[in-house]
Structure 1
């Protein structure tokens, strides 16, 4: 009993609120949960923990991952409808908040990567190419509005692959899981499955996410350990490219502009303050 209590106390309960922020971001097209992890100062620990969870060290990761997972899953279930409503009725201010959040975290990445001292022409080339490739996604407008209600072998495989690729949004800042699902034509089906508790569709997409975690986390951990500056260059490029995806444009009139300016300032300030706080912890 004492051992159980000790393990229970080891759980990092503040990761629940971190998970909530990551979960909310992951259901917004263009916004990456990995970006939120960077803002919160837990990105490196997240990659290591997910990678180690699928190894003999899995028990050591539970204190970090269990509360984080509770927050992420809880936020997706609880706020899926709210986020859909905000994006439908107040898209511009909502997107400008996340635009500010991304811009606010970029200076922190410049500092962490020691960009001025360590980056060479090769690093800047990777940064530029990555940013351009991600930015091109912003000009793609696939028809993902159709909702699939009947699960078949063919669309089941497609959902699994979409979940696999979308799982990288938790691991790579700048890549949005929701955007990946849109590009695969699965986003509205996934949101409908969450709201109606369609466990068949949720299970297939979720299985893809889990498999994606196993493969991607170990690969990214390897890159961070062996090519840290090149990896940081790619991450910065991902974030810069995602600005094009998140930017919603400006609607005329003070009723649209003023709230967007306020949310943009709030997003930027949130990223800077949280980044500074978590860097000093």
Structure 2
């Protein structure tokens, strides 16, 4: 059998990457931004999203002022469409699959699931820590430690549930959740859980409630448009600082993945299933280690990164 062309293989890889992000976004406590960092697409997503937002702003403002569409086209050309399109399709399909399959597994086996994801994220801390570049100074530690404490406090907040939320609250929750999605270590699903909207949102996805989902997506679009340019600027001008904070947020968020918890999210001592739980923790650590090794191999083979490695 002839090998797949490089562009086809790259598209397939990006589709799988998107599916992974979509799957974990349905699980409270697990950050899609973290997975994007692990699989090597985080900064390209943020850069492309920033250019897309600029293009939309100019599309709205420039024609009425007689400025034409030249600036709009410039920004849209900077978007990594060959990456974002398969990534977005994979995310949508992964999210729908997770809502129907993965979420029930997590609900029926919460202790083992949290242990698995805790092992995954603990090893994944190496990704943003390495991306800081060089030896960490006192400044990086001074930012990472309070960030970890903030995430630790936030993930310890009690959760709730609303049976009939207002659409305004749904839009606000979407705006906050998408900001968390863009930050490694902060889970958009956990934001919804804290605001009492996780179960209604999951039900809306499974029931195809397009009215609810449309309002949620509108809130997400507004929140992302307001937030992504700030994040892009920070990564460009304060890269070490930003990545150190992300590392701290990821570390602190591990509190949400302590395997033994009460229904309200309070930590409890280990149970009689400690050894089985430890096994799932190790499996999670091995999975992300294997992912990082494969990603490194693919980059060396010049087939993983469409813009940086393979010309589009």
Check whether TM > 0.5.
yes
1:99-138 to 2 correspondences below 5 Å: 99-114=118-133, 116=135, 119-138=136-155
Separation in 1, partners of 2:219, 2:10 = 27
C-alpha RMSD over aligned residues: 2.0
Question: What is residue 35 of structure 2 aligned with on the other side?
Answer: 36
In the alignment, which of 73, 94, 112 is matched to residue 92 of structure 2? 73
- Mean alpha-carbon deviation: is it higher for 184-193 or for 73-82? 73-82
Unaligned runs of at least 5 residues, structure 2:
1-6, 56-71, 261-268, 300-312
1:273 is matched with 290
**Richer in helix (by share):** 1
Quote the residue 2:22 is aligned against: 23
SS at match of 2:160: coil
Alpha-carbon separation, structure 1, partners of 2:10 and 2:174: 28
- State the TM-score, normalizing by the size of structure 2: 0.79
2-side partners of 1:121 and 1:11: how far apart? 39
Q: Deviations over 1:34-80 (max 9, x none)?
A: 11111101111111122122223335422111111111111111221
Match of 1:143 in 2: 160
- Secondary structure at 1:264 match in 2: helix
**Higher mean Cα deviation, 66-75 or 46-55?**
46-55
User: How many residues of Structure 1 are paired with residues of Structure 2 in the alignment?
Assistant: 264
**Alignment partner of 1:238 is 2:233:** no
Task: Kindly indicate whether structure 1 or structure 2 has the higher relative contact order, using CA contacts under 8 Å at least 6 residues apart.
Answer: 1
Which runs of no fewer than 5 residues in structure 1 stay unpaired? Answer: 1-7
Work out which of the two has the higher radius of gyration on C-alpha atoms and give 1 or 2.
2
Q: Which residue of 1 aligns with 2:76?
A: 58
Following TM superposition, by how much is the alpha carbon of 1:9 offset from its aligned partner in structure 2, in angstroms? Answer: 6.3
The structural deviation recorded for 1:102 is: 0.6
